[in-house]
Amino acid sequence: MQAITQKQINEFWQAHKRFLHTNLTTESQNQLTKNLSQLCSSNLDQAFSLFKDVELNAINNLLQYSDRIAELQQAIITCLKQSGKIYIIGCGASARLAVLLRRLWEISNPNLIGLVVSICSGGDISLISSVEQFEDSAEFGIKQLQQQDFTANDLLIGLSASGESPFILSSIEYALKNSKHTPWLVCNNSIVDIFKRNLNSIINSKIKTLALNVGEMALTGSTRLQATTAMQIAVGIALCPQSSDIQTYINQIYTMLRDIKITDLAKITHIESSLLKNQEYILYTTNENLLGLSMLSDITERAPTFNITQFENYNSEAARLSEDKKAYSPFYLCLTNTLNVDEAWRNLLGTPPICLNWEAFSETRTNYIQGFDISKNSPRAKNTSLPNKQYHENWIIDKDILTISLEDKSCSFEIPTDDLSATILFKMLLNSHSTLMFGVLGAYEGNLMLSLKPSNFKLMDRAIRYTQLILKNNYKLNIAYDKVAAILFEEINQLEPNQSIVMKVVQKIKTHI
């Protein structure tokens, strides 16, 4: 990751007071999964069943928000009737969700393409590679809205699991002042709790909120999991109304996920974790675009969650290094129905990727995203230079059946008939598989992430708090927040992929006591 600067450290301390109030649901430990890492090692089937239980609890908790979802649905209908557009904006996992929601709209409404616009912090590059510094920037959120032609006739929906992202909140405040349609904040925490952490938050103003407080994450703080699932269902229903009423539809999703035998996936997870332990590589392949988008999201999110090497870019400076110095992601994606990089991105997104082309951020340039080749003719698909063997893990859809295969093992799942439900199934399969696989690999303890990549203020705070918990629980040491933070900032600049930032800080503190 990029070295942290003194300026960023100063900005963290200016913003850190809100983090000291750790009363947000999305940052709290789930009591059901406090032994998740142990289950991953001792009983993987039981770990899958437990993960599904947490997912089902979250979906069941969505029922209480049906009226508010209906209100958002009506706001969308009103805006479209008045010739406006719907803008959906997000950071990280929420940004990838924004793109998926746009694609669901376009598939459902092929004659109305262009009326729903997705905005990812940093541009569409964040689908495959996060652009650091964006989530914590209020200025950038407004700048992107302006660059993507947001007008007074448009409705803005901001997605932020925590409800605190400066990028999202500033965008909403801008929309409040510049659009005739009241903007919405969709989050996963109580509005009261968010306001307690930040008395200057705009959530106490005239904006509309859909606060989906559906419970703690299976992996503490990992909002890519149940938090994003809840937003995907709620905003998906509001954007693409189903034939049944909202509560009935949520119950249908619940029943669909309850009835699948998710433990069938454990054999794939077991094989893949064994291959990764041997430092071998996985190429995920698929023949379906919505599934491909879901797979890309899950694989991309593994890098910041577990501090692994992200997708290699064939147009970057790193691509020109000698073979012995190149770093390769343990995972890559291949869309088997595409011949080249441009076709792959167009099929996935329905349009060429949106690139900001900001001079200060080379990752936002068009040629940079073109360096991520996910077509069937990519270097990774052809396996021309990897130092160790690469295995194909196939997620193939045929006649409404998804078959997942790796080596000599396979499992199959029936796909729901509507696209929104199908993407929820894809998400739970991918999220459970990747989360539990990294549990087998020892990337977290209990349900506390040890190897997260502290690339923004939220993740820095999380690493500090988890370090404090490990020191207290394992070594009976009570170390002040600011002392842990000071050591964290020293260690960030030496952090390498696959290292645990939490354990690096723990060991340094233990050594100096």
Single out the residue in 236, 259, 282 at which a domain terminates. Answer: 259
Residue 350, pLDDT above cutoff 60: yes
171 occurs within a structural domain? yes
CATH number for the domain including 206?
Answer: 3.40.50.10490
| 161 contacts 228 by C-beta, under 8 angstroms | yes
| 485 contacts 459 by C-beta, under 8 angstroms | no
Query: In 189-265, which residue ranges form alpha helices assigned H by DSSP?
Result: 191-197, 226-239, 246-259
Assess whether 454 and 432 both reside in one domain. Answer: no
Write down the pLDDT at residue 203. Answer: 57
Least confident of 80-89, 132-141, 178-187: 132-141
- The Cα–Cα gap between 298 and 121 comes to 17
Assess whether 409 and 496 both reside in one domain. Answer: no
Assess whether 250 and 276 both reside in one domain. Answer: no
Kindly give the pairing relationship between strand 86-90 and strand 155-159: parallel
What is the tens place of the pLDDT at every residue in 235-265? 999 999 887 899 999 999 999 999 999 999 9
Assess whether 255 and 271 both reside in one domain. Answer: no
Assess whether 357 and 428 both reside in one domain. Answer: yes
Assess whether 285 and 387 both reside in one domain. Answer: yes
Domain, as residue range, for 16: 6-33+450-512
The band of 25, judged by pLDDT with boundaries at 50, 70 and 90, is very high
- The Cα–Cα gap between 330 and 311 comes to 8
| 393 contacts 283 by C-beta, under 8 angstroms | yes
- Indicate the pTM of the whole model: 0.96
49 occurs within a structural domain? no
Assess whether 65 and 165 both reside in one domain. Answer: yes
Write down the pLDDT at residue 405. Answer: 98
Assess whether 250 and 272 both reside in one domain. Answer: no
What is the tens place of the pLDDT at every residue in 409-426? 999 999 999 999 999 999
Assess whether 64 and 151 both reside in one domain. Answer: yes
Residue entry with tokens 């020293």: 490
Q: How many domains does the chain have?
A: 3
